[in-house]
Structure formats: structure tokens, C-alpha cells
A = this chain, B = another copy of it.
């Protein structure tokens, strides 16, 4: 079987409803799937896992798919082993990765993805498809046992990629500077996915889709842009 993933920068684009911009793609991607298991662990609070799952359910109801929260299973490992498809929502990557390790789900999820189970991830759920979570934008609100993630693609993801703002007076690092600093120490290539763009993975073929170009960072190379429809070769 071959990997099938949609790796999306964000769940929501400005001025549009939850998942709205990507629903036609999801309808196609999940065509033969009846039920999608939702991983709500990235959401640090304010809303419960039930409430977060309800949001995902509402989004997927528009394409007539059933969503069931992984937290509702007594044995989440078994639930993942049996899942037809998985959707991991956004939130805080440190929290998501910590929970996945704590529940011993990281290897199971990796295995299922390599077996060909369809996987859709947004934001933190996209970040974890990379080799490591080390190009997340999130705050380290919890200490995960490792930064290694699923390695479903041979590079890292930077979700919510944002270009430097012209004339900004803030002295914090730009996103590009942060990723360049990552490459002072690490060798993994990084794809900066702007909000509204996603990667479609079909086996070894990875295609950029959605609204924008993506920015690719490789160690010791000048960053470059790839256009919609490009096959990613990293």
C-alpha cells in the first residue's frame, strides 16, 4: 500500500469557515471512507476534547463524513489500528506530541500511514507528519519525551508560514530567520506552507496544492519558492 496524506498549513483561512477552503479536496480524498478518527490532543484548553471533536464533526458533516474522537475510545491504540482514516487537528504541537508519546501512539500512527491509511492534518497535525517537530511555531508549554515525529514525508513542515512584514518595527526574528537558524544545527529540509496551501502525498509523489506558492528551505542553500502543482523533490 502507499501513503496517502493531505498536509495542510491551517484548518481555517481568514474570512472563511472551519475547513471550508479545503472541503472539495477532502470530499475527494475521503471518498471511500465512512468514518474518520479525529485526534483532538493538540488543543490545550478553553475547549474540551468533546467540544473540539464537535467542531471537526460540524466541518466534516458538510461532506457527509462521520467523525469520532480518539479520546472516546477506551483503547486508543486499538482504535488507531482499526481506523479507516485519521484527521489530526491543530493547537499546540508540544502538547500533541507529548500526548501521542504518552499514549504510545506515535509508532502505531506511523505504521498505519505507511500501510496506506489516509491521513489528514492541519497546523500541528501537519507539523507532526514531518521528520521532527522542530520547525513548529508553538510555545513549549509542555516537555515532550522527544521532538521526533511521524516522518511520513522526508522533510519538516512549517505550518502557517508567513513572509516578513515590510517595515516591521518588532525586533523578534522573522519566520525565515528562525528556519535558517534551525539549519545551523539540523539538516532536514523544511517546507514553509502558507495558509491556504497544502501538500498532497500519494506514495512517493508529493504535490503542492491550494492557493499559494510554498517556500523551501534546504541547509546551505538559498531559500526558494515552488508554485502550485509542483512535485516536491526533496
Contact = CB atoms under 8 A, between A and B. Distances in A.
A233 to B, nearest CB: 25
A203 interface: no
Range for the number of chain A residues in contact with chain B: 35 or more
26 contacts: A10-B171, A12-B171, A14-B169, A15-B169, A44-B181, A44-B184, A44-B185, A45-B184, A92-B181, A95-B185, A134-B139, A134-B142, A136-B139, A136-B140, A137-B139, A137-B172, A138-B178, A139-B178, A139-B182, A141-B182, A141-B186, A142-B185, A143-B146, A160-B172, A162-B172, A171-B195
A46 interface: yes
Interface of A: 10, 12-15, 44-46, 91-92, 94-95, 133-143, 146-147, 160, 162, 169-173, 178-182, 184-186, 195
Contacts of A172: 137, 160, 162
A20 to B, nearest CB: 13
Contacts of A184: 44-46, 141
B140 A134 contact: yes
